[in-house]
Chains A and B, each alone.
Chain A
Amino acid sequence: MRRRGLATAAALAALCMASISGQQVPVAKAYANGGAGEGAQAAMVRPLPPAPASFADEQALADYIDLALSDSWQAEGLTPSAPVDDVTWLRRLSLDLRGEIANADEIQRLLADVAPDRRARWIDAFLGDRRFATQLANRWTKLLLVGAGMNSTRMVRYVRPWLETQFAANRPFRDVVTQMLTDTCDSEEVDGCGLMLAYFDSIESLTAITARSFLGLQIQCAQCHDHPFDKWKQDDFNRFAGFFADSRADFAPLKDRAVAEDAEAKLEARREAKREARRAAETAGGAKGRAGSDGGMRAMGVASDPAGVEILGELEDSPIRCGFVVEDLAPEMVLSKNLRKLERRANSGGKVRARKAMSGDAPENPPSDPAGMEMAAAAGGDGESAPGTRVERADGAAINDLLRLLQQAARAGDKAPLSVEKASARLAKEKVAFDRLVAQLQPDARALFDKYEDRRESFSTPGFPDGSKFVSHSGVSKREELARWIVAPANPWFGASIANRVVQQLLGKGLVEPVDDLSGSVDRVMPELLDVIGRAFHEHGTDLRFLFGAIARTHAYALGAATSADAWTATESERRLAAHPARALTLDQFCRSLRKATDPAFGTANEAEAIAKEEWEVRAQVHTLSKLCTAPDGTGLIWWSASIPQALFAMNSETSTIGPADVTTTSYASFADVGLDPVARLSPLWRQMIGRAPAPDEAARLLALLPGDAARLPTTFSELRWALLNSTEFQVNH
């Protein structure tokens, strides 16, 4: 609801008269109709300032964004808040680009740099930092795997490092996306196949995550019925899913016997270690139970939480237990793929079979469940057996019936039982035999089969959501066609959706909210601006660093908190990016910052091994502290917010109640030097923890509150550190 509707209409009229010359950026088809029933809002969309045909660099784009924003603020009668100082800006930038605060040394270096272009140089420095690639990989991994359920745990170890490599090399994002959608594999080397494998058992979820992550479309709402609010029909969803219908992603037995044996040995060693740890814990435990873990970063912080180590070990270091297959099938093999899924569901007690397979009783039939354990659940779980089929009841009897008859019909004199794949391949060549077989099916098996066939029809004619025509080219798989369409500059959504995500990540709100609902959202601020930014993104080769660099250079990014006392105005200012909201830290940012604030050596290592060790420790702490936080949100991220368990952690945990000060540090030395003025005494500690220096009255007041006892100085110093760790300023991205 627009309270300022009348004012806007008047301003719009005035602006229309004023901006006759220059190029107008055409409003993308995606927004022409607004959200459902929002035609009135479309009428009030004010045109953007004329945009140049191309943007030479990040600064040019930043300047244009600022122009468009200030234009809109003027029309809405909003006054932007005052910009923040360098140090505040640096802390914000460091958190947003590197995922951690800047320490005292880094701040020192900034303040020493007086050149006028220092902010731009700092942006570029941070974008080139390995930690930019790390935090981006973390975010995208969590986002892409959020719908994968149990498979996400298994695939994180493949997806995250691969993405980190791509981002570190600054590979054009369109190439990264293309590879994730089209890659094939045939062994334990996964490369870019992680996404396909994570959703191997659910084409719906794969379709949903593709549309959502890369295009900002909530098309999955239409999978069971026409979308209730948006324009998507069920047919749109089916035809979009059809691009994946001819591909197959699956787990496969390891081909190399030596690798398989090695894996089994490692697994057994791990199980033994777990049993050992459990025994040790039980004998040490007693009636009081184990002491609650508090994410303490004691020297062996990782080892102190066996459960954490175990899971992380599973995540990235675990022995390879299976190979993978991701391939595009010839049409006649598609039926076979569906039937393999049926078989897996019917035989989902495959755990036993899988273990046998790995130990070498090489069966004629490839095991239906080579990767073991969770596969069984996944197979029976999602009710998916053929592309897009949501089978409402697990119809075990019917499926078994179907498979048995297929195999019998195809055996034709073979002595050994045929695998479903071979059976269906054979049947596909003998249409008459196949039809005869289908006629023999029991009613419920027949009904199931008919259901699959019906759905398969619509998946056979894929279609793009923007209505552009799909033409099949020989030698080009459907996935490749899809990827080409997604990353093409003509695609209305790709550039805009990536731009919206970056805007949200840096400025706190996307121009369209929710960030991944471009077509259906009713909460939009200048959505056409996303088209301009998206176009520039394409123009610069879909370079993510260009996009981040441009947004970070805007004046809007440097603004401070809303100053209006009126809550409505403050909220509106933040929504229209005229003020920068205080944002929660992600749990990852919080843990890294906690570590960096209390350990000056953190993040300074250059050797790969030392870096890897630090990463492990951070992730172990994230795992432990995740229990204090609320469930991950729709992006898969966990946030450090203001809950009671988090407050208790900050106040009482071993991590926070730091022991007596390390008297060798610079910050302690300054503090202990009573001859210095209050600000000078406290500055190094303040900079290390919260970035800024203390204000003079703040410093004076604090020193007056502290006991003056010289012998007690190390303890007093620790108390100050506790106070800083518990301050709101430390725990928030402002």
Chain B
Amino acid sequence: MRFVPSPDHRNVESRLFTRRELVRRLAHGAVAGAVAPAFLDLFTRHALAAGRSGARKKQIVLVWLDGGPSHLETFDPKPGAPTGGPFGGIPTGIGDWQFSSILPELAKRAPQLSVVRTLTSKESSHGRARDLLHFGYRPNPSVDYPTLGAIAALEIGDSDGDLPPFVQIGGTPRTAGHLPPECAPFFIADGQDKVANLDCPDCDPQAATGDGVADPFAERDRLEVLRGAIDGEFRERGGGRTVDLFETRRRAARRLMASPLKKAFDLTDESPATRRRYGARSFGSSMLLARRLIEAGVASIEIELPGFDTHADNFTRHEKLCSQLDPALSALVDDLVERGIYDQTLVVCMGEFGRTPTANAGGGRDHWPNNFCVLLGGGGIKPATVVGRTDERGEAILERPVQIADLFATFAELLGFERDKEFNPSTRRPTKLIDPDGAAVRELIG
């Protein structure tokens, strides 16, 4: 819940806009020429691009389990305890770390994963807790905080790329707060659906595959000249700054439309076997889409799996949800490892709080921010590391409580964020990107 209106939205222009050089010449002609008739898979193409511009930057994928996933039915089960519920545990051989028996595939990947079992917060309401876990700060009505994905877009996003630096799949669009609008998520409502409006109806996709001479965008360019003439008149009347802002976004959009990397959004290339491995439903498709976007170089991705707010029927509902989470997240980890990009990609899986160890009268669990989990992997995280320990009922922290600020400090260190960078929320009291009170969890940093 944010209570402060964001003046930049109302007044169109971003205060930080002039600091970013985003105007680029349309290079679609050059790219079309460079695409040889022989097919180049996306990853190879991107690797070539990365090779040109230097070391590949890190990336982050946040798998957001919305509603508050029960720690007892996911990453910190207590089988046999009075609070343990009906499912068993799968030991990982890594300390006393177990996965719930409803996450068998993920349990097998434990050597590549790590966990913090003792995240703790004081926020038990969805809105506030969701904000806390996304901002790294407790929500404050006076400050327009940016979401983690937007921070990543700012800090490690490719400002010069064809693809947006932050893509969100599912849920409701997160906010870039007071960061520049380029950091706001490119939102895809459902990973199963074709992404809207990526293709230009006037443009002839066949034109590029001939001698490389014909320009598929020629028709559209002609219309853009007409539009430019109208905008030119508006510029004369004092609308210059606004025209520039819109022009920048149009060029970025054009660049996306023209880019061969656009294919990352299209799942039809993937084999049925792959689709099955991830799970054919919406979440599986979203995770597969996320993998393609990671390969194509998108810096920051968030995927949401909703439905974890199980005040009733906790066990059956968690079983259903985990039956989607398990294959999809396992497949993602496998594919990232196979492609050799797991070490560059920070994978984070969490929700806004855990659930009450003592079940309620309806067979449900209620909110439990006292101790909950985050599953981590890749991106420089020390693998097979277990941070924190809870009691035998899963309702008290015995060792190593970790604050959300600490978690964000860890992200900042792993991904190379400039922690102390200040942004100016609308009250004009400078606020740092990352909560200065957070201390990175050293056990996780390899």
Residues of A within 8 A of B (CB): 81, 146-147, 149, 208, 212, 218, 220-221, 229, 285, 287-294, 345-352, 376-377, 379-383, 391-394, 396-397, 508-509, 513-517, 520-523, 560-563, 567, 570, 574, 581-584, 627-631, 633-635, 637, 639, 641-649, 651-653, 657, 690, 694-695, 698, 701-702, 705-706, 719-720, 722-724, 726-729, 731-732, 734
Contact = CB atoms under 8 A, between A and B. Distances in A.
B9 A509 contact: no
A149 B257 contact: no
Interface string B1-24: 111111101111100001000000
A522 B427 contact: yes
Nearest to A351: B312
For the complex of A and B, list the 7 residue pairs with the smallest distance between their C-beta atoms, beginning with the closest.
Answer: A349-B362, A292-B196, A561-B238, A647-B253, A723-B226, A380-B366, A648-B197
Contact of A643 (B184, B199, B426): B184
Interface in B196-249: 196-202, 220, 222-223, 225-227, 229-234, 236-239, 241-243, 245-249
Contact of A290 (B194, B230, B356): B194
A639 B6 CA distance: 10
Given A220-B141, A221-B142, A648-B253, A290 B192 contact: yes
B92 interface: no
Given A393-B124, A517-B4, A582 B242 contact: yes
Nearest to B426: A514
B199 to A, nearest CB: 6
Contact of A289 (B193, B243, B361, B426): B193
Contact of A644 (B2, B175, B252, B285): B252
Contacts of A706: 226
A648 to B, nearest CB: 4
Contact of B225 (A514, A705, A731): A705
B226 A631 contact: no
A218 B3 contact: yes
A352 B362 contact: yes
Contacts of A381: 124-126, 309, 367
A383 B245 CA distance: 44
B171 to A, nearest CB: 10
Contact of A702 (B1, B13, B229, B256): B229
Nearest to B245: A642
A67 to B, nearest CB: 25
Given A291-B194, A381-B124, A634 B3 contact: yes
B9 A584 contact: yes
B311 A380 contact: yes
A642 B248 contact: yes
B361 A346 contact: yes
A595 to B, nearest CB: 18
A392 B124 contact: yes
A716 to B, nearest CB: 10
Given A514-B4, A515-B5, A630-B176, A383 B125 contact: yes
Nearest to B252: A644
Nearest to A571: B15
B233 A694 contact: yes
Nearest to B272: A287
21 contacts: A285-B192, A287-B268, A352-B362, A376-B312, A382-B124, A392-B122, A584-B10, A631-B174, A634-B3, A641-B181, A644-B256, A645-B187, A647-B249, A651-B257, A652-B198, A653-B196, A705-B226, A706-B226, A722-B227, A727-B234, A728-B234
B226 A643 contact: no
Given A229-B429, A719-B226, A635 B5 contact: yes
Given A393-B124, A641-B12, A513 B358 contact: no
Contacts of A563: 238
B3 A352 contact: no
Interface of B: 1-7, 9-13, 18, 122, 124-127, 140-142, 144, 164, 172-176, 181, 184-187, 189, 192-202, 220, 222-223, 225-227, 229-234, 236-239, 241-243, 245-250, 252-254, 256-257, 267-268, 285, 309, 311-312, 356, 358, 360-364, 366-370, 426-429
Contacts of B369: 392-393
A652 B4 contact: no
Contacts of B237: 560-561
Contacts of B144: 633-634
**Chain B interface mostly:** loop
A698 B173 contact: no
Given A293-B193, A508-B10, 15 more contacts: A289-B192, A289-B193, A292-B194, A349-B362, A349-B363, A376-B362, A380-B366, A382-B124, A561-B238, A627-B187, A635-B5, A649-B197, A722-B223, A723-B230, A729-B230
B197 A651 contact: yes
Contacts of B239: 561, 582, 728-729, 732, 734
Contacts of A294: 196-197
Contacts of A513: 7, 426
Given A218-B3, A349-B311, A631-B172, A394 B195 contact: no
A719 B253 CA distance: 19
A396 B358 contact: yes
A634 B2 contact: yes
Nearest to B185: A630
Given A382-B124, A705-B229, A648 B2 contact: no
B202 A657 contact: yes
Nearest to B243: A728
Contacts of B5: 514-516, 633-635, 637
B3 A644 contact: no
In this complex, the member of A294, A634, A734 whose beta carbon has the largest number of chain B beta carbons within 10 angstroms is: A634
B427 A394 contact: no
A632 to B, nearest CB: 9
A653 B197 CA distance: 5
A628 B237 CA distance: 29
A376 B311 contact: yes
B362 A393 contact: no
Contacts of A651: 197, 200, 220, 250, 253-254, 257
Nearest to B198: A648
Contact of B3 (A285, A516, A627): A516
B76 to A, nearest CB: 17
A380 B172 CA distance: 22
Contacts of B126: 149, 377, 381
Contacts of A391: 124
Contacts of A633: 2, 4-6, 9, 144, 175
B311 A348 contact: yes
Contacts of B253: 644, 647-648, 651
B202 to A, nearest CB: 7
Contact of A582 (B11, B195, B250): B11
Contact of A652 (B122, B257, B427): B257
A448 to B, nearest CB: 14
B221 to A, nearest CB: 12
Given A347-B361, A392-B124, A582-B241, A647 B4 contact: no
Nearest to B122: A392
A229 B225 CA distance: 51
B4 A349 contact: no
Contacts of A648: 196-198, 253, 256-257
Contacts of B232: 698
Contacts of B362: 347-352, 376
B231 to A, nearest CB: 5
Contacts of B367: 380-381, 383, 394
Given A647-B250, A727-B234, A293 B196 contact: yes
B199 A514 contact: no
Contacts of B12: 581-584, 641-642, 732
Contacts of B247: 728
Contacts of A397: 358
A583 B10 contact: yes
B311 to A, nearest CB: 4
Contacts of B122: 392
B427 A349 contact: no
